[in-house]
């Protein structure tokens, strides 16, 4: 009752899951983003496609058994896509089995016309995406048409993607064919899929920016999460040999070889700029 009075109680949704508290939303979900509408010299080559791997999962069970209503963070997905679209790239939207993309709609910036625009532009693809299995079967032979693989964040990226063999295959395909891999916040959880079937971690020795476990451990105090995370992200990646360059939830972005990463939702605009510039320079 006290948490409700203070506005830090997670909101119970009609399906029994929990979304962030009023205080958490006020602190972390601005009505407009910091997107910079940059006019890039558009890419006109043959490698114009970017595969975007979204989660199709909504609920992440916390240690206390409560389910967090999650999915893909709209800002972490759409701001980088805005920059990459403005730089002349196009997107293929995919989920593990072809089920619709799930967004954390409680995190949608309600007054940001640029975000609304690209969200509406790709609504059909979000509703009817490709499956990763179909991509592996039919698109691996056409690597010359692709520039990058992009895995947005949101806690939903920690559900299913780390255990999906097709995710691991696609990341290795991207690496072997000199494509870029772009990810942000909890999106690098998908990198764990490269260790399936006792394979070596693809990004051992890489520097990357990811969401810190230490912050996930603190956010239940303001009702962002309804409990402690069942597992971590930054520490497992470190244990596999990655170097995490940030310790805070901030605007840090990182480029190491063909890997482009960002630390948190706050880094979405910076990640988009870095990804667009890096792909155009290449």
The answer to whether the CB of 93 falls within 8 A of the CB of 72 is: no
Tell me the C-alpha distance between 87 and 102, whole Å. 26
Positions marked active-site: 185
Tell me the C-alpha distance between 12 and 238, whole Å. 34
The answer to whether the CB of 109 falls within 8 A of the CB of 73 is: no
Tell me the C-alpha distance between 226 and 187, whole Å. 20
Q: Are strands 146-151 and 67-69 parallel, antiparallel or unpaired?
A: unpaired
Q: Which of 27, 60, 253 is nearest to 155 (CA)?
A: 60
Could you give the maximum distance between any two Cα atoms of the chain, in Å? 59
């Amino acid at each position: 009752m006290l948490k409700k009075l203070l506005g830090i109680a997670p909101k119970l949704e009609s399906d029994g899951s929990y979304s962030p508290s009023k205080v958490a939303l006020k602190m972390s979900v601005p009505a407009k983003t910091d997107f910079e509408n940059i006019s890039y010299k558009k890419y006109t080559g043959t490698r114009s496609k970017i595969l975007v791997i979204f989660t199709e999962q909504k609920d992440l069970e916390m240690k206390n058994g409560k389910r967090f209503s999650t999915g893909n963070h709209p800002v972490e997905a759409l701001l980088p896509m805005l920059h990459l679209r403005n730089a002349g790239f196009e997107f293929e939207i995919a989920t593990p089995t072809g089920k619709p993309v799930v967004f954390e709609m409680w995190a949608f910036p309600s007054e940001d016309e640029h975000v609304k625009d690209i969200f509406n532009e790709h609504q059909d693809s979000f509703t009817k995406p490709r499956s990763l299995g179909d991509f592996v079967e039919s698109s691996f032979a056409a690597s010359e048409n692709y520039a990058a693989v992009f895995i947005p964040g949101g806690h939903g990226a920690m559900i299913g993607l780390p255990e999906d063999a097709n995710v691991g295959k696609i990341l290795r395909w991207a690496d072997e064919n000199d494509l870029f891999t772009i990810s942000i916040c909890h999106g690098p959880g998908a990198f764990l899929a490269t260790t399936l079937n006792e394979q070596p971690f693809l990004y051992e020795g890489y520097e990357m920016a990811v969401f810190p476990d230490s912050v996930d451990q603190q956010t239940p105090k303001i009702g962002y999460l309804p409990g402690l995370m069942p597992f971590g992200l930054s520490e497992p990646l470190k244990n596999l040999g990655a170097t995490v360059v940030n310790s805070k939830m901030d605007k840090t972005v990182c480029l190491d070889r063909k890997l482009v990463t960002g630390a948190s939702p706050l880094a979405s605009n910076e990640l988009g700029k870095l990804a667009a510039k890096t792909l155009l320079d290449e």
